[in-house]
Structure 1
Amino acid sequence: MKLADYVIDFLGDQGIDKVFVLYGSANGHLIDAFTRAEKTEYVATMHEQGAGFAAECFGRVKGIPGAAIATSGPGALNLVNPIANCFYESVPCIFITGNINSQFMRPDPSVRQVGFQETDVVSIVESITKNAVMITDPKDIRYEMEKAFHLAKEGRPGPCVIDIPIDIQKAEIEPDELFSFDSDAARVHYSTDVVDQQVEQYIEDLKKAERPTFIVGGGARIGNAVDLVREIAEVAMVPAYPTWNALDIITSDFEYYGGRIGTYGGAGRNFGIQNSDLLMGIGSRISGRITGGNIHTFAREAKKYVVDLDKALLQPRLQQVPFDVNILCDVRDFCERLLKRLKEERAAGNLPTHEKWNAQCREWRVKYDPVRPEMFEDGAYTHDNKEYVHPYAFMRRLSEKMSPNDILVCDLGGTSVVVAHAFETKFGELYLTNNGNAPMGFSMCAAMGAWMADPSRNVVAIIGDGGMILNIQELQTMKNYGMKVKTFILNNHIYGITKAFQETNFQGRCEACGPVGYNPPNFVNVAKGFDVQTFEISKNAEIDSMIDTVMAFDDGPVVCDVNMHEYHTYEPRIFGWSTPVEDMYPYLPRDEFRQNMYIEPIEGWENPAMPDIVNPNSATPGTEGTRTME
């Protein structure tokens, strides 16, 4: 049997019925093997990065590792971003690269290159993979394939890379003579006795707590614990706050949904988390995007628990925020143990209901919703007397019109902030994004993988104009395969979140982010060049009808350009590294802010740091002026 055939059949045996590829001579034998495969087929993309992003979300929808194949040199290097995506987001994925014939490889690292397009991809990706290996002996292929799939899924998941030279790909092997991988040696071990003791400790703390909270991250889905986490919040009667990776876990329609959190907090303005006296983090490392720069002020009066299977994240010296109780455990195992004890204590009448605290968190969530009624009015967002679309109004309407079976794939930058602020999730929806590596241009490619994984579901990609440019070539892949992906471009004609940052940090100088140094194309015309159906939304009055039209389109891919002029007001948000995350800009009146604080505000709360926003249209250079960002 040809080794390339073994590799492709192995992928099919793992349930991977679609593999995303871009052809090159160094992976030619692998691609040719698909012609003999019975359980899988390739999907040819226009760029390796598109293949990698698609593979990531194909696997996330399927619940198995995805797979992508690239050629040597530039092809393999184009997979680095998708590999980093999967590493930082803990997504199991298999990346296979071809390489030149072994005889033409450099004999020593002191030699830069010998063969055409020779690249030591293994060394390049070692720091962003769970395992990366070049196959030098054909007899190792079973061992390395089994090892890659095991490591990709075991413990904290992540990507594995297998680099296969041309001569190894075409080598003949006897499958029955290949040796296998011993998976037991690679398992993560922890003490269940210690976990049970920590569960008991939390139960006792919960009985005494007056303002308990949960933070739930994407690890709850990775660990197959979504239903358990929700039930824990219900039985404990504790407000739960999703990270941006968990918006489809603790959904907006969940009874104990507390709101959105972090440096771009959203509904609730972080008051629930910050006023908490007992915090449990499940499936989240509690990153700086949640805590803000002044990490010592985060949930500063709460006793903090965190559960993780990554030992490194449980070392206090390596944590962004030191936790009081660090629980090393598989998230599903932990949730089962905690839920069992919560049910026992609830049945015995030993747990408080926290009625007043839940009511307070709901009040904050509703009162401080970033989406306000006036945003939906005709003319809510204008420039030079011309109407445009208010992105928050558009996003809230889209969330209302999508169904619980749909998939939303979100890009990064300002687009992700608009979604986090305005999109209200329903349980059953799948929300896909990548907040670790956070590359622009991700969502449209990722949506291809999501649709290929389950064509029966509506797949909606949300992307900004800046992200659209980066991978616009994949419209051709969508067209080639008839993918019914619905892409909405939040087109503000600038790098919005960058411009907002520049305005508040560089005295109004906005370089290389638009309109200076950046100007996107007419996306409608470009999409038509790919023979893709297009629509436009130019003002608020068109939002409802055009969303309905796009969602009803069923004849291949569709692109809708949402004209937001130069909107870049992503509020509320944290200004400055010293400001605690409960004090968001634009600031509340100081008396109102103080009334919302159960704990003592930090020193200086009466006079918080203010952004230095200079009017770019000042009459003369150096003339100071201020304005509210558009």
Structure 2
Amino acid sequence: MKLADYVVKFLEQRKINDIFLVSGGGIMHLIDAVGKNENINYYCNYHEQACAIAAEGHARVTGKPAVCLVTVGPGAVNALAGIVGAWYDSIPMIVVTGQVKKELIANFSEIRQRGPQEGNVLEMARPVTKYAVSVVEPNDIRKELEKAFYIATSGRPGPVWVEIPLDIQGAEVNEETLPSWDQESRKSEAVNYQEFEEIVRLIENAERPLLVPGNGVWMAGVRDQFVKLVEKTNIPVAVSFTSKDLLPEEHDCFVGVFGTAGQRRANFAVQNCDLLISLGSGLSLSKVGFNYGGFAPKAKKIIIDIDKGQVFNQVVRPDVGVVADLKSIVPFLTENLNAEKLNILPKWREVCSLWKRKYFPVGPEFYDNAEFVNSYVFMDKISDLLVNNACLTVGNGLDCVSYYQAFKVKEGQRTLISGNWGSMGWDLPLAIGACIGRGKEKTLCVTGDGSLQWNVQELMTISKNRLPIKIFVFNNRGYSAIRATQKNFSGGKYVASDEGSGVGNPNFELLAQAYGIRYFSIQTNADIVRVASEAIEGSAACLVEVNIHPDQWISPKASAYRDENGKIHSRPLEDMEPLLPREEIEENMSIFD
């Protein structure tokens, strides 16, 4: 059989039902093989970055590796920009690319290029993949695919890169005699139960424990076990940005989202706990703040992650660091923690509940402007409208911050954000992959006017495949986050951030019409429920323009400030702008002293 046919059959045998691709001459044999296979659906994106991000979205909702197929050279380089987010967020992906014929592959140390559109993309891919290989011998195809698939899904998941030269794709192979990957290479780490038992003792002795789960809980497939752990122990939970959908808003143990742009209520819990248990949550600067020496200052910190670097090399150093798979430790904690042995202060749970009620993010002042939509009010209202099994993707500007603060997750919902990379243009193609991965169920995408234009061509993917994706575009006339920085630190001189400084928007109604997508407009807070309800109803795609005030800033936020000498400092997590009265901060921080 042709090697390209074997590649597609291999993917089919591993339950890969959907492939995202952009066609090209450098993958002509692979494209032909995909087209001949009746058990695999292929979806044509219109840019390789979007193709890779769509595969990421598919993997996020299915928990299985997704496949992206792109051509040689420029196509492969475009895909690189799309896989970096998957690398940092630990999303399993198989990227298959073409290359020029084997005999034309250049010695890149001596010459820049020999074949048409050739490039040394493999070396570019290595820093952002778990494994990158060029299959230059036809008989190696089985073992390299097996190895790549295993590496993508084992340990800390992530993308892998398989490059196949054009003539190798078309080579004939004997499926029965292809050598497989050495099974002995698949090492599994021994579980250190003594470390697990120490964690049990620490939790039992803590008076103010706080569980801090991250996206690792989802990626390890232990979300249900985690919920059992929470409900058995009744330990309060503060989640990271990427794991807000682990628990519904109404859950008694859910305190909120912590971080520099997180919720006050959760930040107060983090800053007052005496034991912080991080489960698969990379404690990066966006979460702990640039004043990271003041993160959880009263707590002993237990950091548990499958990646040793995440445990010991982040800015927050653990008092107890455990390198372990959450598949092992979460069930262990659930089984071995006895609620009757816990020493949690009743007041700890009471105060966490008090903070949750007192510092609800959407106050009456958010309704003051009757001419625009407040993004926090929008997220609050849209969360009321969505059903329990809904899926939402959000971008990386005001949309995601408004989501952290005001969206109320319900049981069974998935809400997807880029936790670490924050690429513009990520949200729309991710919604495409998530929608397809969920069997083409209705999917919402909340994006910004800037982000949409990075991958605006993917409106054609949505239209062509009749995907029921509801796109809400925050139109705040450019880049509000950049304007906020320029206002605070450049005296309000805007450069490359709004209409007057070089950044414009299209007519979104005409844009939607060009792609055959229905258009709606939400002009004020009073329009949200009526218009959004109509837009969400039915299975047709739509684009909803949301009229956001250009000067609406992120609130609350643990911001930097200048002292009287002009030196810049970062505030601790409990001290968010708009600033609370000093007495209120001190009262919240001294409750348990």
Q: Give the TM-score range, shorter chain.
A: over 0.9
> Contact 2:59 / 2:65 at 8 angstroms: preserved in 1?
yes
Q: 1: CA distance between counterparts of 2:20 and 2:239?
A: 31
Q: Does 1:228 align with 2:216?
A: no
- Normalising by structure 1, we get a TM-score of 0.90
Q: Does 1:111 align with 2:108?
A: no
Describe the SS at the equivalent of 1:157. Answer: coil
Equivalent residue number for residue 542 of structure 1: 527
Q: Which runs of 4+ in 1 moved over 6 A?
A: none
Q: 1: CA distance between counterparts of 2:363 and 2:58?
A: 36
Which structure 2 segments of 5+ residues have no match?
Answer: 561-568
Q: 2: CA distance between counterparts of 1:596 and 1:186?
A: 50
What are the Cα deviations for residues 19-78 of structure 1, in whole angstroms up to 9, with x where unaligned? 011111001111111232132121111111111111111122222101111111110011
TM-superposed deviation, 1:589: 0.5
- 1:511-550 to structure 2, matched below 5 A, reads 511-515=495-499, 516-550=501-535
Matching residue within 320, 326, 335 for 2:321: 326
Describe the SS at the equivalent of 2:132. Answer: strand
Q: 2: CA distance between counterparts of 1:599 and 1:361?
A: 11
- 1:367-516 to structure 2, matched below 5 A, reads 367-375=358-366, 377=367, 380-381=368-369, 387-455=371-439, 457-515=441-499, 516=501
- Worse-matched range after superposition: 18-27 or 178-187: 178-187
> Contact 2:264 / 2:576 at 8 angstroms: preserved in 1?
no
Which structure 1 segments of 5+ residues have no match?
Answer: 602-630
Q: 1: CA distance between counterparts of 2:344 and 2:308?
A: 33
Describe the SS at the equivalent of 1:293. Answer: coil
Q: Does 1:587 align with 2:579?
A: yes
TM-superposed deviation, 1:121: 1.3
- 1:229-248 to structure 2, matched below 5 A, reads 229-248=226-245
Q: Does 1:289 align with 2:292?
A: no
What are the Cα deviations for residues 468-515 of structure 1, in whole angstroms up to 9, with x where unaligned? 011111111111111111111111112111211221122222211113
- 1:49-448 to structure 2, matched below 5 A, reads 49-190=49-190, 192=191, 194=192, 196-268=193-265, 270-315=267-312, 318-342=313-337, 345-346=338-339, 349-375=340-366, 377=367, 380-381=368-369, 387-448=371-432
Describe the SS at the equivalent of 1:79. Answer: helix
> Contact 1:248 / 1:431 at 8 angstroms: preserved in 2?
yes
Q: 2: CA distance between counterparts of 1:205 and 1:62?
A: 35
Q: 2: CA distance between counterparts of 1:297 and 1:374?
A: 31
Describe the SS at the equivalent of 2:84. Answer: helix
TM-superposed deviation, 1:102: 1.7
Residue identity opposite 1:331 in structure 2: L
Q: 1: CA distance between counterparts of 2:310 and 2:461?
A: 39
- Normalising by structure 2, we get a TM-score of 0.96
- Worse-matched range after superposition: 180-189 or 505-514: 180-189
> Contact 1:154 / 1:187 at 8 angstroms: preserved in 2?
no
- 1:610-629 to structure 2, matched below 5 A, reads none
TM-superposed deviation, 1:600: 10
TM-superposed deviation, 1:108: 4.1
> Contact 1:228 / 1:332 at 8 angstroms: preserved in 2?
no
% identical aligned pairs:
33
Q: 2: CA distance between counterparts of 1:56 and 1:518?
A: 29
Q: 1: CA distance between counterparts of 2:302 and 2:451?
A: 37
TM-superposed deviation, 1:465: 0.4
Residue identity opposite 2:378 in structure 1: F
State how many pairs are aligned. 584
TM-superposed deviation, 1:275: 0.7
Structure 1 pair 272–279 and aligned structure 2 pair: CA distance change class (3 A) = same
Q: 1: CA distance between counterparts of 2:78 and 2:107?
A: 25
Residue identity opposite 1:467 in structure 2: S
TM-superposed deviation, 1:456: 5.3
> Contact 1:575 / 1:585 at 8 angstroms: preserved in 2?
yes
Equivalent residue number for residue 5 of structure 1: 5
Equivalent residue number for residue 623 of structure 1: none
> Contact 2:238 / 2:266 at 8 angstroms: preserved in 1?
no
What are the Cα deviations for residues 545-598 of structure 1, in whole angstroms up to 9, with x where unaligned? 11110110323x211010113143111101124321111111100111111103
TM-superposed deviation, 1:404: 1.1
Structure 1 pair 59–353 and aligned structure 2 pair: CA distance change class (3 A) = same
Q: 2: CA distance between counterparts of 1:497 and 1:228?
A: 38
Q: 2: CA distance between counterparts of 1:62 and 1:567?
A: 38
